[in-house]
Copies of this chain bind each other. A is one copy, B any other.
Amino acid sequence: MPDIAAVKAALTDQRIETPSWGYGNSGTRFKVFAQAGVPRTPFEKLDDAAKVHEFTGVAPKVALHIPWDRVEGPGGYAKLAAHARERGVRIGTVNSNTFQDDDYKLGSVCHPDAKVRRKAVDHLMECVDIMDATGSKDLKLWFADGTNYPGQDDIVARQDRLAASLATVYERLADDQRMLLEYKLFEPSFYTTDVPDWGTSYLQCVRLGERARVVVDTGHHAPGTNIEFIVALLLREGRLGGFDFNSRFYADDDLMAGAADPFQLFRILHEVAGNGGFAPGADVAFMLDQCHNVEAKIPAVIRSVMNVQEATAKALLVDRDALAAAQAAGDVLGANAVVMDAYNTDVRGLLGEWRQERGLAPDPVAAYAACGWQERIVTERVGGRQAGWGA
């Protein structure tokens, strides 16, 4: 059986990155429901993210999304980074956005028109500038590029344009900066998507160089896809850049991580644990990428961080010696039972203990509810324009 002290040490080493956009308003194409107290600025988003870290102790990094988190004026991003540090957090990935400008109707880095591609690449370059200014090490790229109708554009020509665009950006990166390339089955493109699966992302990364890696967003796969298999494969290739955790029942539903299929989340983290993904050198980023359309935002982020942490704890509890022995013996039920024993364990006590050892309240959700922050932001954040996907 795994040593509890070792499990706790591994939990202490884990960092879960929360997304700035998880604190703002969000919704579906049908409606964005506004919530009271939502941040108006990137600085206020960092304030909220700092609360999540304050109560969980494992969320010190915050992802930015440009232009939603654009800061105007000279030294603006340095101020933002300093603000983060003052609150006890720091800037994580910088996420680009090449899908909300009218020019991008038919694509961005894959667009048939070189002028539009140039504009998109310029935006990615700006994102690297922001990385330099904020100390971010990871450029995370997701492209809405694709087509809606058969024949609309040439699939292979679009891959060529993608490769050329990415190569330009990759050369601009500093030696300690990485490019993380996300894939997605569909949406907002409905016929072809230019990076629809891990294979396409992997192919593009390999051509770019060692510091280009694949991001696995748990909501971006076809039904029936075995996500943990992909995770294991990418770890085998040294190409797993990180995760965008969230939940889905059918499509990219952006529900709280662990909400729809906690067993799947556990299986994914079990592969991470078994293939060295928690080791420091592995450099796997554990990020949330989700929105909270109908539920309270900060508590939803706290709950999501806890869900990832609970699944991690269970994965660390798997008795790997017993598992290896059962696998070698071809003992199907025995091997499965080893994994299920860990999954069926209630780790909430263990995690409460771990928190108390670090001076945290054992129940982060209750502690946040009691701390008065929610009441304060509802009162103080009046006027201005609430942050959201479009802002």
Task: Give the B-binding residues of A (Cβ under 8 A).
Answer: 27-31, 33-34, 99-100, 102, 104-106, 112-113, 144, 148-156, 159, 185-188, 190-193, 196-200, 202-203, 221-226, 228-229, 232-233, 235-237, 248-251, 253, 255-256, 259-263, 267, 270-271, 274-275, 293-296, 299-300, 303, 310, 323-324, 326-328, 330, 332-333, 335-340, 343-346, 348, 365, 389
User: Besides A149-B295, A187-B250, A188-B293, 16 other CB < 8 A contacts?
Assistant: A29-B389, A31-B144, A34-B102, A106-B332, A112-B328, A148-B253, A154-B324, A185-B250, A190-B253, A197-B198, A222-B250, A224-B250, A250-B251, A261-B261, A295-B332, A303-B337
Question: Quick check: B153 and A333 within 8 Å, CB to CB?
Answer: no
Question: Quick check: A159 and B233 within 8 Å, CB to CB?
Answer: yes
- Measured between beta carbons, the chain B residues less than 8 angstroms from A33 are 102, 105
Question: Quick check: A275 and B148 within 8 Å, CB to CB?
Answer: no
Copies in the complex: 4
**A102, A112, A144, A229, most chain B CB atoms within 10 A:** A229
Question: Quick check: A190 and B333 within 8 Å, CB to CB?
Answer: no
CA distance A176 to B186 in the complex (A): 40
- Measured between beta carbons, the chain B residues less than 8 angstroms from A296 are 332-333
Question: Quick check: A294 and B332 within 8 Å, CB to CB?
Answer: yes
- Measured between beta carbons, the chain B residues less than 8 angstroms from A259 are 149-150, 336
CA distance A275 to B157 in the complex (A): 10
Question: Quick check: B333 and A150 within 8 Å, CB to CB?
Answer: no
Question: Quick check: B190 and A248 within 8 Å, CB to CB?
Answer: yes
Q: Could you say which of B104, B232, B249, B346 contacts A31, with CB atoms under 8 Å apart?
A: B104
CA distance A151 to B341 in the complex (A): 11
Distance from A361 Cβ to chain B, minimum over Cβ atoms (Å): 16
Question: Quick check: A112 and B191 within 8 Å, CB to CB?
Answer: no
A-B contact pairs, 21 of them (CB 8 A): A31-B100, A33-B102, A113-B330, A148-B293, A149-B332, A150-B336, A150-B339, A150-B340, A151-B339, A152-B335, A154-B274, A186-B250, A190-B248, A192-B226, A197-B197, A198-B199, A224-B250, A295-B332, A295-B333, A303-B337, A344-B346
Question: Quick check: A336 and B224 within 8 Å, CB to CB?
Answer: no
Question: Quick check: B203 and A249 within 8 Å, CB to CB?
Answer: no
Question: Quick check: B335 and A186 within 8 Å, CB to CB?
Answer: no
Question: Quick check: B271 and A152 within 8 Å, CB to CB?
Answer: no
CA distance A274 to B157 in the complex (A): 11
- Minimum-distance CB pairs A-B, first 7: A199-B199, A151-B339, A223-B223, A222-B222, A28-B188, A346-B346, A224-B250
- Measured between beta carbons, the chain B residues less than 8 angstroms from A261 are 261, 263
Q: Could you say which of B148, B235, B263 contacts A294, with CB atoms under 8 Å apart?
A: B148
- Measured between beta carbons, the chain B residues less than 8 angstroms from A153 are 327, 335
- Measured between beta carbons, the chain B residues less than 8 angstroms from A222 are 221-225, 250
- Measured between beta carbons, the chain B residues less than 8 angstroms from A328 are 112
Distance from A276 Cβ to chain B, minimum over Cβ atoms (Å): 10
For A31, the closest partner residue in chain B by CB is B100
Q: A28-B188, A159-B236 are in contact. Are A196 and B327 (CB under 8 A)?
A: no
Distance from A330 Cβ to chain B, minimum over Cβ atoms (Å): 5
Question: Quick check: A188 and B30 within 8 Å, CB to CB?
Answer: yes
- Measured between beta carbons, the chain B residues less than 8 angstroms from A332 are 106, 148-149, 152, 294-296
- Measured between beta carbons, the chain B residues less than 8 angstroms from A106 are 294, 330, 332
